Chain A
Amino acid sequence: MAPADADLLVVCGTPGPRLGDAIERVWSQVPAPRARADVGSADGARDELDRVPHRLRDATGAGHACVSPATEEARPEPGHGTVASAHEVQAHEVQAHEVQAHEVQVDEVPTHEMSGHEMSGGHDMHMMHVGEVAGLPMADRAPDRDGLTLDVLQMSLGPVLSDWPAGLVVHVTLQGDVVQTARVEVVGEPGPAWDGSPAASALDGLAQLLGVCGSSTAARTARRLRDDVLAGTVDSAVLHRFARRLHRSRTLRWATDGLGRLDDGRPDLAGDATARWLRWLDTAEHGGPAPDAGRAAAAVTALPGLVEGRELASVRVVVASLNLDLDALVTVPR
């Protein structure tokens, strides 16, 4: 879920220059031993992924130029190994002595004495120093909506993040973990819009939403069902059981109820996050309209208004509940 947890970076498609930069930064944060696979098009994907375990085995770390947090939920072709199994292979076969040479830390900066003192002061730090620490600007303060004066953090969500539409960037101003303002941007080259099964798209969106909501087992099932739908081997009884289970899940409703409510707009975005994922379940089971460019555009336009004033976690749920297909966006609305 973060670069720290990855040993494999898989880049699917051709990122544009800005998305490429983001990918390089993520790659620089992946701890060794690591490997990277650049999968240009779907045609060579299987071969490229098959080569990955060997590359991981040979990976001695540092020198390689590689990229981002592996999308750890590999999208295995039916009958093929998953990235998870690549992890396991690697765990056994990397020799300890190979790694010792790389204990130097990736992001280490020569400021030990600062990191010891400046940061341990906790509250003092915020009161006393507004300047720089290790070359980075300190957070400034500003009044928040409750009339308190809190640290203001500028931060960008995306463009690469797990369970997140690749290329979407939400620039947020945080106080505490509450989003005060948000600005949306889209980076990367648009690819062809999804023209496959709407059911697969719905299940894919569902998998991301479930992942963000911490329902990891259900997210796994959603991914499996999505792959089954794409392969045309889906068992409708299994799908039905899955849908019924989600319908009954109180904790999932607790996680999504009342978030991202859109009432005056397109019917396929209407309601809160819960209403939207319930519609996806319906689409997954009984089919439904294919998502079109208008939906993604409307969702991106509405997004800042939906997340301002919300807790950081809610931002993730709101974004996931829109199931954005950014490739369907031809022009970026501002």
Chain B
Amino acid sequence: MSPVQQGPLWTVLLVPVLLGTLALCGAAFARILEARADGRRISGVVLAAPLAESGRLLVQQRRTVVASDRFLARTGVVLVPVAAVGAALVVPLGSTAASDLSVGIVWFNAMEIVMWAALWMAGWGTNSVWGLVGGYRFVVQGMSYELPHMFALITVATGAASLSVADAVAAQDGLWFVVWMPVAFMAFLLSSLALSFAGPFDTATGRDVAGGVLAEFSGVDRLLLLAGRWLLLAAAAAMSVPLFLGGGAGPLLPPWLWTVLKTVAVLGVLVWVRSRTATVRMDRFAEFGWIVLIPLTLLQALVVAVVVVSRGTSMGGM
């Protein structure tokens, strides 16, 4: 397989388009699952529902609450999709990446942290008790998923002896990381759902708090938040491929197609899990995160580190 290379500058423009398409596919799949639960027929109307919903929100009136901090709230709202596209910049499609940063893994992580601020700002800025509760819930959730998530990323970086996504893909030549880092992979998938505040980690926008962060947003603001959430989930699914599933590696088909196929499969699993689970209460998840996930991911990092050292791999890159 050819190594991952930096693509020409125009490929940056392609990132939002591809990510948006992927996000639309994910949203459409979620609609299909909903229609099945309703006992409705799967038709074109169901498949087009995400687009129709976007159209509805585009023409809907925007609203604000008395004495809300509109600057803060709207900055937060805009940052959500921006962070998602930013995170996707370092994901290689086949053997081309829009941006092959030497610290791509850290960049991806940094974009998620932007999400913390973005969602909290959107929630706080609306001057509504629901938004406030939702915003703070996301921060609490972040405290529970972010450390296992970072350990999962560190495990990959240790295995690849580099913080570059291209090196991570290259290091999986022969053996995918998912095979000897299954715990890190699971932790990554769980935190993908959590960072895109999708069920079972949707307490920040829970129905029990009337939509939480979303409660007071309508029109374009709501569209940006909802679309941003899908873009994030798509970006995280796409990132799992170079990190754990060998990137574009695979027989017969071209590398870019393998990347797409693997990404769609991961996204499908995430959307399915999302639809099958009830929201996990924050106190329970905090307990699980700190008592189960963190030790497990640490142990995984330790195992990988021991393997890397005993193989005598050059650590010069670190």
Contact = CB atoms under 8 A, between A and B. Distances in A.
Interface stretch (B20-28, B32-40, B146-154, B171-179): B32-40
Given A31-B62, A255-B281, A4 B222 contact: yes
A236 interface: no
Given A211-B207, A214-B279, A215-B278, A4 B218 contact: yes
Given A111-B67, A134-B67, A155-B129, A249 B277 contact: yes
Contacts of B65: 107
A153 B66 CA distance: 16
A214 B206 contact: yes
B198 to A, nearest CB: 10
Given A1-B211, A2-B210, A33-B59, A255 B70 contact: no
Contacts of A61: 61
A193 interface: no
A220 interface: yes
- Interface of A, secondary structure class, is mixed
Q: Is the interface of B mostly helix, strand, loop or mixed?
A: helix
Given A217-B276, A251-B200, A1 B67 contact: no
A91 to B, nearest CB: 4
A207 to B, nearest CB: 11
A278 B130 CA distance: 30
A241 interface: no
A291 to B, nearest CB: 23
A20 B217 CA distance: 24
Interface string B211-238: 1001111110010000000000000000
Contacts of B63: 4, 29, 31, 105-107
A334 interface: no
Contact of A161 (B67, B210, B219): B210
Interface stretch (A37-45, A113-121, A263-271, A296-304): A113-121
B53 A107 contact: no
B203 interface: yes
A162 B67 contact: no
A61 B66 CA distance: 20
A162 B207 contact: yes
Interface string A97-109: 0110011011111
Contact of A215 (B68, B69, B214, B277): B277
B283 to A, nearest CB: 8
A44 B192 CA distance: 47
A17 to B, nearest CB: 24
B56 A313 contact: no
A155 B280 CA distance: 25
Interface string A67-111: 000000000000000100101101110111011001101111101
B62 A105 contact: yes
A119 B37 contact: no
10 contacts: A2-B214, A4-B216, A33-B61, A88-B52, A92-B52, A119-B72, A119-B127, A217-B37, A217-B275, A313-B206
Given A1-B210, A116-B69, A220-B37, 12 more contacts: A1-B207, A2-B211, A7-B60, A33-B59, A103-B62, A105-B61, A115-B70, A177-B133, A211-B207, A213-B208, A214-B202, A255-B279
Interface of B: 33-34, 37-39, 45, 49, 52-53, 55-56, 58-72, 124-125, 127, 129-130, 133, 136-137, 199-200, 202-203, 206-211, 214-219, 222, 275-284
